[in-house]
Amino acid sequence: MSMTLYDSRRAPNPRRVRWFMAEKGIEDIALVEVDIFAGDHRAPDYVARAGLPNVPALDLGDGTTITESVAICRYLESVYPEPNMFGRDAREVAVIEMWTRRAEMMLSTPLMMAVRHGHPALAAIETQVPAIAARNREGAEHALAVFDRRLGETPFIAGERVMMADIVAITGLDFSRMVKFRPAEELANVARWAAAMRERPAAQAGV
């Protein structure tokens, strides 16, 4: 069964999947670029396949298409189980799930909203509201203090190794560079972790 990933180099969520695939050394999935600025994700054939005008989308080759980046990565984890990135036992699975959800809701989504409503180029695909950008930027700043405390306890967000929570967080943080967002200088643990993530070979696959 041949799988195809509908990708977009301009969006942060597809980057999560590319990074995850690179960490696992997955090289047998075809990549198809979807130009969101050209509206490719809204084309009738794409929406019919994916169900929503969203990227990324993983076509399994059997008539099934999965959207939502974390769901795609969970599926890939089951097909390519090593290195493990979602947990080896009940406790670890729960801890990773907890921190992945926190990374998504508290950090990555607010940063994405700050970019979508704050960067001039995104006005082409978003009805921008500056107050939304400002509020989400503030929320991300508060969240980073939580992650800094956590990263004072563990080398990576969910534990001793890179896991899905780290990928969700770093791709959101990198995307926020578009609006010149930077973690506060006093967040030394976040700085150490971010540098370690960006030095990983898989980070280049995510760009």
Q: Give residue-wise pLDDT tens across range 57-89.
A: 999 999 999 999 999 999 999 999 999 999 999
Which residues in the chain land under pLDDT 50?
A: none
Structural domain boundaries enclosing 20: 4-79
The CATH number of residue 148's host domain is 1.20.1050.10
Could you tell me if residue 175 is inside a domain? yes
| Per-residue pLDDT tens digits for 136-150 | 999 999 999 999 999
Residue 197, Cα to own-chain centre: how many angstroms? 13
60 and 157 in a single domain? The answer is no
Q: Is there a domain that residue 101 lies in?
A: yes
5's enclosing H/E stretch is strand 4-7
How confident is the model at residue 63, as a pLDDT? Answer: 92
pLDDT of residue 123: 84
Judge if 182 and 127 occupy the same domain: yes
105 and 168 share a domain? yes
Q: Are 71 and 105 part of one and the same domain?
A: no
Q: Are residues 115 and 178 in the same domain?
A: yes
Could you identify the residue written with the tokens 């090289």?
27
* Domain's final residue, options 79, 114, 137: 79
Q: Are residues 94 and 195 in the same domain?
A: yes
**Per-residue 3-state assignment (H helix, E strand, C coil) for 194-207:** HHHHHCCHHHHHCC
* Contact (Cβ atoms closer than 8 angstroms) between residue 154 and residue 147: no
Same structural domain for residues 40 and 94?
A: no
Q: Please say whether the beta carbons of 57 and 6 come within 8 A.
A: yes
